[in-house]
Structure 1
Amino acid sequence: MTSQPVRALLLEQIHPEAEAVLRSAGFEVESVGRALDEDELVDRLRGVQLLGIRSKTQVTRRVLESARGLTAIGAFCIGTNQIDLAAATEAGIAVFNAPFSNTRSVVELAIAEIISMTRRLTEKNALMHAGTWDKSADGAHEVRGRTLGIVGYGNIGTQLSVLAENLGMQVLFYDKVDKLALGNARRCLELEDLLRQADVVTLHVDGRADNANLFGADEFEQMRPGSLFLNLSRGFVVDYGSLRKHVESGHIAGAAVDVFPVEPKGRGDEFVSELRGLPNVILTPHIGGSTEEAQQDIGRFVAGKFRDFWRDGTSAMSVNLPGLVLPRAENTLRLVHLHRNVPGVLARVNGLLADGGVNVEAQLLGTRGEIGYAVTDSASGTTQAIVDQIRALPETIGLRVIF
């Protein structure tokens, strides 16, 4: 039972705060400023225990099956749909994300874009840069008194709801799950009800597969003439060809889009979209959470999850494992055992420890679906032979020894 240097690979310009946290914990860190494709990732993960990504790198089953030493993946963002979670769990790899850290940044961008489109600032700006002075108020409005429809009432949707009300907007929301309305917001039981009433429709849904093609021709047609549309959630939930047609016809007066079905891998790469060149359409390169404050918080948060998971087996807020936090007593050896959730596994582990004369100082078990996760501390007596016996149990997915 010898310790090896812990190697972390961070991709896609993750904030330097993450590297600082990991290096201070004694880990070796390699940072790459872009996304990697599948073949590159397979090659670069040899000897890597911790992988940090953002939204573009796709961690597929093939990648996970080839990454023998990989212990944890951190999505330094909200979504985890770019990771094959089932394959990660089968391989005993913990997955973490940052579900809250960039919420405020996304909300502020949404508010800024709503005001910009309502005042038609994009068109005024373009005219000024072209040397044309146009002080007309035609088509410009206040947001006060207008109705905002929020599709997806999670962390971002709820905070946007509160700030929009502070600006004097009326708020409607639709969510497939029953959610508590904040302030004076009103829930719509059907998406169609929201679309018929809202002056501005904004999407804040998650990346689950059943949200694909959520918004298309039928939904745009149901929106009020002259209304505005925003998507700061996922690119694959909207039919952008249909959005273009409705903007060109004037049915949709303006749109703001931050996410796209296919996005360039790195800074400076060509961006291709049917939405380019449209008036009063704001296109941003997936920057909803890209503020210094948000990225620093995300870097610190996810890197801290890496550190705590590696050092202590702490899995609090893991996306795919039971969330366990067991305080560590001094001078103990910790076994972190990921196994199939079937009856009797913990009893067999404890039987092996007892047969070896090992006294358990502390123990915690959690289950999640088909997965069981147990953390066991002992003061002395745990030998390599006992570890090998536990690892050889047919239910064992993975076992780590933490000194």
Structure 2
Amino acid sequence: MPRALLLENIHPLATDVLTAAGYEVSAQPGALDEDELIDALDGVSVLGIRSKTQVTERVLAASRLDAIGAFCIGTNQIDLAAAALAGVGAFNAPFSNTRSVVELAIAEIIALARRLTERDKALHDGVWDKSATGAHEIRGRTLGIVGYGNIGTQLSVVAEALGMHVVFYDTAEKLALGNARRMPSLAALLEVADVVTLHVDGRPGNAGMFGPTQFRAMRDGAIFLNLSRGFLVDYGALRGRIEDGTLAGAAVDVFPEEPNRRGDPFTSELRGLANVILTPHVGGSTEEAQEDIGQFVAVKLRDYLAQGASYLSVNVPGLVLDAPRPGTRRIAHLHRNTPGVLALLNETLAQHGTNVEYQVLGTRGEIGYAVTDVGGEVPRGVVDELHEMPHTIRVRLLGDG
């Protein structure tokens, strides 16, 4: 029985889906470091992770994985190029927790604008501090969204429904929703935004994108949120702007270094600041979102492993495939994207008298992926010959249709 390993408290629905597909599933609550992960992957063909576990080239070289599921939005914790060249398909959940992140952002914007953190602390300390000083409605204020992807666009719609004006900045060309206005630069957005919220991806080029220069450019009394990636922001600079009172508050859900396991100690220069909300990377951690993610990613893994379907893969060509027809076998051939590979594959099949009944090819950069259904059984030696073809990365012979 093939084995799957799920780390970081992935929803039990994922275990149900993979178990029903014939996998022996083991689960662990926390993340693993590189050496721990290599040891744990002995005999494992499917790995499920969230944001903490790092799947490096060394991990991939030391394992025999067929597929990786990132049960979250981001995939920068996986060396995607190395995974593709090792023949390992990777999948994530690009949409499933969008609403959860948006609702947290809205809740924090309101809480910070009304200074609810300070009012709450005062009452817990036994002090009745009723005052309107520094408390504001969000209606009529301007929300600046940096990164107008799945989360940024949905946040834009919800914020506008609450009466906010919305401006956004994105390096890619994006269609503005509702009355949102695209800004020509990040600097232009910072000039007008009462609230600035980051929703950009984790590519290395974004590291350190928000530092002292950007915080100085923000309006006095503005609010700052980061619910995307911890390494985007200079939190020391943010602390200085909170302490000198030029920023009214901040909400941070992600940090450059985060503990691997629940209950581990946490340190940050942002602890103890007034009107600063710190959350432990829970933007997408609602029961509804985790259930959707567990189902979505596990089904993608199941279909890739059983049928070769790779739609929405983040590192190999995405193919939409029907199940193999009865009486056929399916050959999934991952290879370097080089002219002549498909012709050589078909020539090898023809030499063994194997009839091709269905075939589809997709390419993505230097990776090609061909899926071929053949009639009847695949003659002995065909798969071995395909393995030996120049530019082959991995060949998988899938079950009867």
**Normalising by structure 1, what TM-score?**
0.98
Is the Cα contact below 8 Å between 1:363 and 1:376 reproduced in 2? yes
Ranges of 4+ aligned residues in structure 1 off by more than 4 Å: none
Q: Give secondary structure in 1 for the equivalent of 2:304.
A: helix
Q: How many residues align?
A: 398
Corresponding residue number in structure 2 for 1:42: 38
Structure 2 Cα separation of the partners of residues 240 and 158 of structure 1: 26
Q: 1:98 aligns with which of 93, 102, 108?
A: 93
Q: What letter corresponds to residue 246 of structure 2 in structure 1?
A: H
Identical positions, percent? 67
How far off is 1:387 after superposition?
A: 1.1
Counterparts of 1:254 and 1:357, CA distance in 2: 71
In structure 1, the partner of 2:381 is 385
1:86 is displaced (CA, Å) by 1.3
SS where residue 381 of structure 2 aligns? helix
Letter in 2 for 1:29: V
Partner of 2:12: 16
From 33, 52, 56, give the equivalent of 1:56. Answer: 52
Q: How does 1:182-221 map to 2 (within 5 A)?
A: 182-221=177-216
Alignment-mate amino acid for residue 169 of structure 2:
Y
Which residue pairs with 2:82 in the alignment?
87
**Alpha-carbon displacement from aligned partner over 1:178-217 (angstroms, at most 9, x marks no partner):** 1000000000011001001000000000000100001000
Distance 2:25 2:163 in 1: 48
SS in 2 for 1:123: helix
Cα shift at 1:331: 1.7
Q: Which residue identity lines up with residue 44 of structure 1 in the other structure?
A: A
1:142 match: 137
Name the SS for the 2:107 alignment partner.
helix
Please show how residues 3-402 of structure 1 align to structure 2 within 5 Å.
5-67=1-63, 69-327=64-322, 328-402=324-398
- What amino acid sits opposite 1:34 in the alignment? G
Structure 1 residue 384 displacement after superposition = 2.5
Q: Runs of 5+ in structure 2 lacking a partner? A: none
How far the C-alpha of 1:326 sits from its partner, in A, is 2.4
Does structure 1 conserve the Cα–Cα contact (< 8 Å) formed by 2:328 and 2:377?
no
Q: How much has 1:325 moved relative to structure 2?
A: 2.1
Rate the CA distance shift 1:217–1:360 in 2: closer, same or farther, 3 A: same
Q: 2:367 corresponds to which letter in structure 1? A: I
Asked whether the 8 Å contact 2:47–2:68 carries over to 1, the reply is: yes
Listed one character per residue, the Cα deviations across residues 108-151 of structure 1 (whole Å, up to 9, x for unaligned) are: 00000000000000000000000111111110010000000000
Q: Which amino acid aligns with 2:224?
A: F
Alpha-carbon separation, structure 2, partners of 1:325 and 1:182: 29
SS in 1 for 2:318: coil
Distance in 1 (CA, whole Å) between partners of 2:108 and 2:380 is 60
Instruction: Return the TM-score normalized by structure 2.
Output: 0.99
Q: CA deviation at 1:381?
A: 4.6
Q: Quote the RMSD (CA, aligned, Å).
A: 0.6
CA distance in 1, matches of 2:21, 2:348: 33
Using the TM superposition, name which of 320-329 and 150-159 deviates more: 320-329
DSSP-derived class of the 1:73 partner: strand
In 1: Cα distance, 2:326 partner to 2:108 partner: 53
- Secondary structure in 1 aligned to 2:156? helix
- The structural deviation recorded for 1:95 is 0.6
Deviation digits for residues 21-70 of structure 1 (CA, Å, limit 9, x no counterpart):
11111111000000000000000111111000000001111001001x20
Contact 1:118-1:142 within 8 A present in 2 as well:
yes
**Gaps (5+ residues) in structure 1?**
none
Give the Cα separation in 2 of the matches to 1:395 and 1:268.
47
